[in-house]
Amino acid sequence: MSKNTDGGWGETVRTVIFAVAIAFGIRTFAFEPFNIPSGSMIPTLLVGDYLFVGKFGYGYSWYSMPSILVPESVTGAKAESCDDVPGRLFGRMPERGDVAVFKLPRDPRTDYIKRIIGLPCDRIQVIDGVLHINGEAVKRERVDDFVVGEMLGRQITVTQYRETLPNGRSHLILEQLGDQGELDNTQVFVVPPGHLFAMGDNRDNSQDSRVLSQVGFIPMENLVGPAQIIFLSLEEGTRFWEFWKWPTSLRFSRIFDGVE
């Protein structure tokens, strides 16, 4: 009886250790959970969305996996041309339009999520709210307004556009302040080799690469990975651990939506 009991406990311990090892491996090499704390990516992502980031999407850097596993030769690499992807093991260039998580250049402890708009050596400018890439205006089509809430029985809406990038990928953006917001007219930004330019979809409520002193150009090595799928979505103000509120705060229609 004692032998069987000991064997049962031993099997349980081995199972738990095996499960923990698998979970650690998945989080280290494959997927990392991320939650949306601000409205800078509305309407694509809402405050209270929880999503998985694919850590293998752009290869690995010491920001996306334990630094001891990334060779020093990779970590110290510098871009020599516009096509180089420095600082990454098995590196792959992001696609224009990807929604990606990255470490903030001025504070690598902070995660940001934005849309990749500019690739290395691109020239980016915003003129009267219209994005320009390499001197060409990006197509922008007015669509139905986005509903942000309700007051006194009336809907509160924001101007919404569908923006189509040069590679054909399209997404929705908001212009809360029309086309004359603080960041709706910018200088020409020339993206350095080995860097990216990212913007929020909520254009008048996003601190992004347009603000050089706060975000600026994003080094390739700072990428964690592309956002892939929403696995949970809770109404703003509901904490993840407040499971007793889930029946009324879950946004069921967003669960398992891909991030585009």
Q: Which residues are designated catalytic?
A: 40, 114
Place of tokens 């892939």: 228
Map residue 8 onto helix, strand or coil.
Answer: helix
Please tell me whether residue 71 adopts helix, strand or coil conformation: coil
CB 194 within 8 A of CB 78: yes
Rg of the chain (C-alpha set): 21
**C-alpha to C-alpha distances, 149 to 19, 145, 216, 235, nearest whole angstrom:** 43, 12, 32, 12
- Three-state SS letters, 201-220: CEHHHCCCCCCCCCCCCEEH
With the C-alpha atoms ordered 203, 205, 207, 213, is the resulting torsion angle positive or negative? positive
Task: Sort strands 170-175 and 49-54 into parallel, antiparallel or unpaired.
Answer: unpaired
